[in-house]
Amino acid sequence: MSNVPAELKYTAEHEWVREGTPVTIGITENAAEALGELVFIELPAVGDRITAGTVCGEVESTKSVSEIYAPVTGTVAEVNQAVVDEPQLVNNEPYAAGWLLRVDVEDATGLLSAEEYSALLDA
């Protein structure tokens, strides 16, 4: 069973959000495991505006290509260049060094609690 940290918020598309100013965003351990070894990550640029529920990036693994959906609406404040350079960080540390973006949030409604996300995984 995947690790689902209680302090984070989640989306049904398997992204996580760590509250703060700005918020930190990544993909869940469940998503990283399902994708397999990541080999390429494409992220928006600093200053780009992302909208909750829309595609804001892409991850490519040895198995497939998957879109990253913005869990919040806001402006990209920081991109984790380390994961762009070394995508395996997401596989190894999805909730730590493997974060993807930091975003100045305008709207963060509709996120799931850890309990709600865990229930989704168990369904």
The per-residue pLDDT for range 65-102, each reduced to its tens digit, is 999 999 999 999 999 999 999 999 999 999 999 999 99
Check the CA dihedral 39-77-44-14 and report its sign. positive
Measured between alpha carbons, how far is 40 from 49 in angstroms, rounded to an integer? 22
pLDDT for residue 82: 98
Whole-model pTM? 0.95
The CATH number that domain 9-108 falls under is 2.40.50.100
φ, ψ of residue 100 to 5 degrees: the values are -105, -55
- Note whether 30 and 15 are within 8 A (CB): no
Summary mean pLDDT of the chain: 96
φ, ψ of residue 59 to 5 degrees: the values are -120, 140
Query: What percent of the chain is predicted at pLDDT more than 90?
Result: 94
Residue 123's pLDDT band (boundaries 50, 70, 90)? confident
